[in-house]
Chain A
Amino acid sequence: MFAEASDNPEIRPRTQARRDRTRVRRACGLAPLSPSRYSERSMTRSRDPGAVLPVCDYSLCCALGSSRDAARERLLSGQGGLRAAPFALPFAAPCGVVPDSLPALPARLSAYDTRQSRLALAALEPLLPAVARSVRRWGGARVALVLGSSNAGLDTTERLYARYRQSGVAETGFSLHTQHAFAAVLSLVCELTGIAGPVHFVSTACSSSGKAFASAARLVHAGLVDAALVGGVDALCEMTVRGFRSLGVLAEQPCRPFAAARPGINIGEGAALFLLERGADAELALLGTGESADAHHMTSPDPDGAGAEQSMRAALEAACVDAAEIDLINAHGTGTVQGDAAEAAAIARVFGARVPVVSTKGYTGHALGAAGAVEAALGLITIEHGFAPESLGGSPVDPELPIAVLQARRTGAFRRVLSNSFAFGGSNVSVILGRAA
């Protein structure tokens, strides 16, 4: 395994260091170094077990349900989880709100109490035994925590700011550090788990938690840690709903990704966590990730989908699989005219029209920084339980889109799922999950 081979790179042969670097580049979604520099390129098509990161356990809390089982049952039934926004708006805005009450924080951690932290706790609770085992096995400093979020604690800040505007007096109970800041949820999770290794949020808007997988994989493959708790969390905020309205892409009806008549986005919320552990005996695994930037526009995708194509190709390279070996694509598919068209063009160039494509945002809404994690969990449900959901709202599919959008639930063996997340700033990430063996 890489960590064993690289413990003392200063004394190992140069060729071994080159092999290690090539393996790590693959595992991290980077193109292999050129054959003129390294001769190992021909080796990159054979699966390297050290590059696969087993998923020991995972959890999900989203508009489909506050647990993995509840979400799976609802997904299986084909029912979406969109409902009216939980705050007053001068326009209609179906939202993907978690339907159940969320767990309360322990009294000693009440300073961290926000909807954001409760969502994180809902996703963390089912994983606590597995994380505790990992911390015992490796030591807290060898376990990383890498999460993705776009909003942090904004849902709480915006409510308190509204009161502040009326009274002119800052809220005495409000804390930037334990409620608004990204670090609040990091502190909460570390307190509850004993994780003490590298800890950070990736915050690149809607690609945040997809990129968290890539970041965590780098930490493991670089030998900095042996396990990582990875995922994403974002609570629904009025500001983001109004913000997408200001951009002219918010739907007043349920969203219809890839449909000919698609009205735009519904905003959602959720959390999902994954325990990745080097060498664990697990059926599921993170196989590879790919990242890129559009370098085009802050909010509009490159119409050619060049950045999206680049991230998908990098993920395939990292996972050492061909496009034909992907059984399902969970598209970013927010339901905007431009975004769906650009993504479809990119998918068609990489996969043709053979691989079925689903957007699950018709079930969950767009969970923003948590979307990558939520959709990775839905991808694992597909692999574990042998069904891919209908792309809700997608019929009739836009005839201009050259991809195979799933218009009915499909059952069968799904070994590998690729999940896309694209974001403001042109930030792109593709994640491939699958059977470990």
Chain B
Amino acid sequence: MSAALYVKACALWSPEYSDAAAWLSGRRGAVASAPPALLLPTRARGRASLITGMLAETVGRAASDGGADLSTVPVLIGSAFGEMATTVRLLEMMGSGDGALSPARFQASVHNTAAGAISIATANRSFSSCLSAGDATCSAVLIEAWAWLAASGGELIAAVADESLPPFFASEQGFGPLAAALMLSAEPSGRVIARIAPPEFVAAPCARDAPGGDAEPFARNPAAALLPLLRAALSGQRSAVSLPGLSGSWRFELTPPEAS
């Protein structure tokens, strides 16, 4: 197994926080309905769902802050539920009139919509993928990123996001929208903000504490499982973070780059 991963940049967007620095300092802004998502062309941005916009925003920010070339950097995305709002719109269309669907909505309903939109917008033909593993989505993305970088020796942007659940799923515990991204590298070259040791499986489940605090609207968002790791990476302190697995949990030890 490779010795370590290196975090070169972190990004976050929610309606309450425009970036990771604002979230880390608890500096809430005016609630936004959508991120700028400037990575996407104007027309695509206008058509994009909230989750695709959030992912484009955080991937673009992580690339910019980490110095990655968006036309070549691999992009790995995770989402527990994916394009839920678009899916429910299609379900509504199926029940209306003759049940004909909008082709634009249908093509934007797949789980990898954001991965495709980002690839097309940046003319990036390299690896991209999209994962889902429920509450274990964040650990799954980090493990897949680990395995990919063990093979490639380059850089990769890993992003996670989920949007709020539509009313049909109202019986489930609700949460606010959230996206977060990490720019990761297999090598400690350039500006590095943290080193992550190899993941360790722990049979016991980790406490599902609300990582941003219960007061945050996105506290129960599956993507919020990544927030303790973001906080640890940005803090510059040595720490160990546990992320939920499907059974048990995955422990990631972070150290500041100078301590590694």
A residues engaging B (CB < 8 A)?
3, 6-7, 9-10, 21, 24-25, 27-28, 30, 33, 90, 140-141, 150, 152, 154, 157-158, 161-162, 164-165, 170, 172, 174-177, 180-184, 186-187, 190, 196-205, 211, 215, 218-219, 221-224, 238-239, 242-248, 291-299, 306-307, 310, 423-427
Which 3 pairs between the two chains have the least Cβ-Cβ distance? A425-B116, A183-B134, A203-B111
Closest chain B residue to A425, Cβ basis: B116
With A187-B246, A218-B150: A294-B125 Cβ-Cβ less than 8 Å: yes
Proximity bits, B221-256, A CB within 8 Å = 1, else 0: 000000000000000000000000111100000000
* A-chain residues with CB within 8 Å of residue B117 when the two chains form the complex: 298, 425
A427 touches B115 (CB 8 A): yes
Interface string of B106-142 (1 = CB under 8 A from A): 1111111101110110111111111111111100100
A202 and B102 alpha carbons, distance in the complex (Å): 25
Expressed in whole angstroms, the Cα–Cα distance for A424 and B169 within the complex equals 26
Question: In the assembled complex, which residues on chain B have CB atoms less than 8 Å from the CB atom of A177?
Answer: 134, 172
On chain B, the residues within 8 Å of A242 by CB distance are 94, 99-101, 106
Q: Are B131 and A201 in contact (CB under 8 A)?
A: yes
Q: How far is the CA of A197 from the CA of B91 in the complex (A)?
A: 35
Q: Are B91 and A200 in contact (CB under 8 A)?
A: no
Closest to A157 in B: B91
- The residue that A199 contacts in the complex, of B107, B136, B170, B171, with Cβ under 8 A, is B136
| Chain A residues whose C-beta falls within 8 Å of the C-beta of B90 in the assembled complex | 239, 243
Q: Which of B112, B128, B152, B169 contacts A30 (CB 8 A)?
A: B152
Q: Which residue of A lies closest to B99 (CB)?
A: A242
- Return A328 CB to nearest CB of chain B, in Å: 26
| CA of A224 to CA of B140, assembled, Å | 12
Residue pair A176, B172 in contact (C-beta under 8 Å): yes
Are B132 and A219 in contact, CB atoms less than 8 angstroms apart? no
Q: B132-159, CB under 8 A of A: which get 1 and which 0?
A: 1111110010011011101111000000
Query: How distant is A189 from chain B, measured CB to nearest CB, in Å?
Result: 10
Q: Does B164 contact A (CB under 8 A)?
A: no
Task: Indicate which residue in A27, A198, A244 contacts B143 across the interface (CB closer than 8 Å).
Answer: A198
Cβ-defined partner of B128 (8 Å) among A3, A174, A218, A427:
A427
Q: How far is the CB of B48 from chain A (nearest CB, A)?
A: 11
* B144 with A200: CB separation less than 8 A: yes
Residues on B with beta carbons closer than 8 Å to the beta carbon of A9 = 1-3
| A215 lies within 8 A of B129 (CB) | yes
Seen from chain B, the residues whose Cβ lies within 8 Å of a Cβ on chain A are 1-3, 80-82, 87-88, 90-92, 94-95, 98-103, 106-113, 115-117, 119-120, 122-137, 140, 143-144, 146-148, 150-153, 165, 168-172, 199, 201, 203, 245-248
Q: Assess the B103–A425 pair: CB atoms within 8 A.
A: no
Residues on the A chain within 8 Å of B152, using CB: 25, 28, 30
CB B191 to nearest CB in A, in angstroms, measures: 22
Q: Is the CB of A198 within 8 A of B106?
A: no
Which residues in A have their C-beta under 8 angstroms from that of B170?
Answer: 170
Among A223, A224, A245, A297, residue most surrounded by chain B Cβ atoms (within 10 Å) = A224
A399 to B128, CA, bound (A): 34
Name B81's closest neighbour in chain A (CB-CB).
A181
Q: Is the CB of B140 within 8 A of A222?
A: no
Task: A176-B81, A218-B148, A222-B2 are known; give 20 further A-B pairs, CB within 8 A.
Answer: A141-B201, A141-B248, A152-B132, A157-B91, A183-B80, A196-B248, A197-B201, A200-B137, A201-B133, A203-B131, A203-B132, A204-B130, A219-B147, A243-B90, A244-B106, A295-B122, A310-B125, A425-B113, A427-B128, A427-B129
> Nearest B residue to A243 by beta-carbon distance?
B106
Q: In the bound complex, how far is the Cα of B94 from the Cα of A299, in angstroms?
A: 21
Pairwise interchain contact B203-A246, C-beta atoms closer than 8 A: no
CB distance from B107 to the nearest CB of A (A): 5
Q: Out of A186, A215, A424, name the residue touching B144 (CB < 8 Å).
A: A215
Chain A proximity of B140: nearest CB distance (Å): 4
Whether B248 and A239, one on each chain, are in contact in the complex, defined by CB atoms closer than 8 angstroms, is: no
Interface-centre pick from A6, A9, A183 (highest chain B CB count, 10 A): A183
Instruction: Provide the residues of chain A in CB contact with B106, threshold 8 Å.
Output: 239, 242-244, 246-247
Are A199 and B245 in contact, CB atoms less than 8 angstroms apart? yes
Q: List 19 A-B contacts (CB under 8 A).
A: A7-B1, A90-B99, A157-B91, A161-B168, A165-B91, A177-B134, A180-B169, A183-B133, A199-B136, A199-B247, A201-B132, A239-B94, A243-B90, A243-B109, A246-B101, A293-B116, A295-B123, A424-B116, A427-B116
Least distance between A109 CB and chain B CB atoms (Å): 14
Residues in A whose Cβ lies below 8 Å from that of B108? 298
Is the pair A307, B125 in contact by a Cβ cutoff of 8 Å? yes
Structural contact, B112 and A425, CB atoms closer than 8 A: yes
Please name the residue on chain A nearest to B79 by beta carbon: A203
Q: Which listed residue (A198, A204, A294, A296) contacts B112, Cβ 8 A?
A: A204
Q: What residues of chain A lie closer than 8 Å to B124, measured between beta carbons? A: 293, 295
Question: Which residues from B are CB-within-8-Å of A141?
Answer: 201, 203, 248
Cβ B98 vs Cβ A90 within 8 A: yes
Q: Whole-angstrom distance between the alpha carbons of A205 and B83 in the complex?
A: 12
Q: Are A198 and B107 in contact (CB under 8 A)?
A: no
Residue numbers in B under 8 Å from A215 (CB-CB) = 129, 144, 147
Q: Which of A157, A246, A307 is within 8 Å of B102, CB to CB?
A: A246
